[in-house]
Amino acid sequence: MNVQRLRSFFPVTRELAYLNHAGVAPISTRAEEALRRYAQEATRHGALHYDAVYDAEVERVRDRAALLLGARREEIAFVKNTTEGLGLVAAGLDWRSGDQVVTCDLEYPSNVHPWQALRAQGVETILLRGEAGRLPIGRVAEALESRRVRLLALSSVEFGSGARNDLDALGGLCRERGVLFCVDAIQSLGCLPLRPEASGVDFLAADGHKWLLSVEGCGIFYCRRGLLDRLRPRIVGWRNVADNRDFDTYQSELQESAVRFEEGTPNTPGIFALGGALDLILELGIDAIAARVLGLTDLLADGLAERGATVLSPRAPGETSGIVSFRWGDEAPERTAARLRRAGVFCVARRGGVRASPHFYNEEAEIAGLLAALD
């Protein structure tokens, strides 16, 4: 991977060491160019070439998203964010009073609130306790012993600690017990490989504004093909019906594909940007990106430990991700993050630690810069 060449796609590198991809990432010039293409078309031609330009790009980007996930195009819908994708599952399944959803206390609120909001329908949310930043799989296995569990909802990577959940093992447990598996993938999609079908994941959602290096407000929702019929869209409009180009007939039949979850006009500029971002990721290859990111986070975690910082992120093989969380002595993480920011290193404080999250275009020198700025 030619990091110097790649840095030219990220003008932010001229300003600072950007280590906050787990928060909101800068977009690449590839996403910027795609957005510009949209803007030029919109200003010069309006909707004159709607099918040939807008529709064609939306469907091309759907294919790109499917390729990244090893999925079929009919399993992909565009959503406005991760929360909407998780909400589609919460709102769309046929819950019965007494059902249980299992999640955990390391999760971002987006993956807890939608399930807790089902309480009015008699659905109980079980919040498993994490330990040292990770969720021990034994706790999940134990919780899934209950025949009342309908769904397991977890993140691919925990947003605070950076612990990577073993999706293959969790998906295997879910399959054995006939439990649905819904994954909040925003903390790994674009930096670590993720193949929902191979891992036994039934639903997945991720917005574009973190590791995918795209804009806010346009994300990907995956629904396993065999489940499309079981998930009822919470909003039905012109776009999710069977023939969405027939504006004269009020239809009750839904699209067969995941377009059934897209009720109206899509976020076309957002999808253009996402397309530019996905093209870059697919060109580099997700395995090469993962190797690079994990190499940088290893370097950072080792450097932090050598300097006597407390590394909070689980670091065992298979548990690492693009996130390293740490504390510097007894300094408040907010204070450490503010100090680093003054030194030109952008990380943030989350869940009791300073969270640093480099992407493939960051340099070893930027990691060294963070370490030097701590002292």
- Interface with ligand PLP by CB under 6 A: which residues? 81-83, 108, 110-111, 155, 159, 184, 186-187, 207, 219
CB 159, min distance to ligand PLP, A: 3
Considering the complex, state which of residue 81 and residue 103 has its C-beta at the smaller distance from ligand PLP: 81
CB 22, min distance to ligand PLP, A: 7
Residue whose tokens read 């790109």: 64
Considering the complex, state which of residue 108 and residue 222 has its C-beta at the smaller distance from ligand PLP: 108
Enumerate residues 6+ apart whose C-beta is below 8 A from 149. Answer: 99, 100, 101, 102, 126, 143, 177, 179
Considering the complex, state which of residue 216 and residue 331 has its C-beta at the smaller distance from ligand PLP: 216
Considering the complex, state which of residue 130 and residue 219 has its C-beta at the smaller distance from ligand PLP: 219
CB 108, min distance to ligand PLP, A: 3
Considering the complex, state which of residue 111 and residue 255 has its C-beta at the smaller distance from ligand PLP: 111
CB 209, min distance to ligand PLP, A: 7
Return the bridge partners of 103, or none: 127
Smallest CA-to-CA distance from 16 within 373, 280, 323 is with 373
CA gap 370, 329 in Å, rounded? 15
CA gap 354, 333 in Å, rounded? 5
Enumerate residues 6+ apart whose C-beta is below 8 A from 44. Answer: none
CB 128, min distance to ligand PLP, A: 16
What 3 state SS string does 76-111 have? EEEECCHHHHHHHHHHHCCCCCCCEEEEECCCCHHH
CB 222, min distance to ligand PLP, A: 14
Amino acid identity at 268: T
Q: Is the dihedral of CA 303, 23, 168, 135 positive or negative?
A: positive
Considering the complex, state which of residue 218 and residue 241 has its C-beta at the smaller distance from ligand PLP: 218
